[in-house]
Every structure is written in C-alpha cells, then in structure tokens.
Amino acid sequence: MTGSGGTALKLGTRAYPEGSPKATTVNGRTRQPKKIRYTVAEWTVVVERARVTGRPPARYVREISIGAAPRARHGREYDEIIYELGRIGTTLTRLSSAVKETGLAATEASLQATLAEVLTAVRRIG
C-alpha cells in the first residue's frame, strides 16, 4: 500500500513524507507526530512515572516504547552530595596520577581503592 507521493504505508500507521508540515527536523533527525490515546487513569500513571525519572511525559513514552528503561532520578537533596563526591573523585584521580609519576605504588593503590569507594557511593545514591 502506498500513500501520496509514493510513500510506503504500513497498515494501522500513518507516515508523513519528508518535508511535510507535520514532520519536524531537530539536530538532523526527522520526527513525526503519532497519536496515542490514554484513559485519564493511564495518563496519570504515565505522568507520575515520567516525573519520577525526571523526564517530560512525551520523552518518557518515546523511550519506553523503544525499549529503554529510564531509571528513577535521585531527589534534588542528593545533587549537592553527588557534586561534592565528584569533586573528591577528580582530586583523587589527580593525586593518583601525581603519585604514579613519583613511583609510590602503595600510595597509588590506596588512592585508587578510595576512588573506587567514592564511585560506589555515587552509584548507590544516583
């Protein structure tokens, strides 16, 4: 089955030809709007799940529909903690590099172990 302009259509879907006013191109990617109908209760669930992951509902639906599994976003109260742990990790990495140049292998190993603990803490929080 073909649509206007020779565009192939699948049954049950509607494809918009390139350059159609319905299709939009953002960052070199063409997007085509699609209609999905939800009950009020279903949409409420979608909106809540999107909120938990920190995404707009449309993005959440798009990601879920292609098989992505958005993770719940940590609360804003953890943002400052994660930022500071990131700074500590960066400092540990720099210290480890400086110690490596001096040949102190035991100290470097200790710094790398501490860095691994910091990364584990960040993963547990975020």
Q: Going from the first residue of the chain to its last (126 residues), give the mean pLDDT of each consecutive group of 10, the final group possibly shorter.
A: 47 51 78 87 92 87 86 73 90 89 86 91 80
For the record, the structure tokens of 30 come out as 């063409």
pLDDT for residue 42: 94
Q: How far is CA 7 from CA 32, 57, 79, 92, 116, in A?
A: 14, 30, 48, 57, 54
Per-residue model confidence (pLDDT) at position 61: 92
SS3 for 72?
A: coil
Structure tokens at 10: 């699948």
Overall pTM surpassing 0.75 (yes/no): no
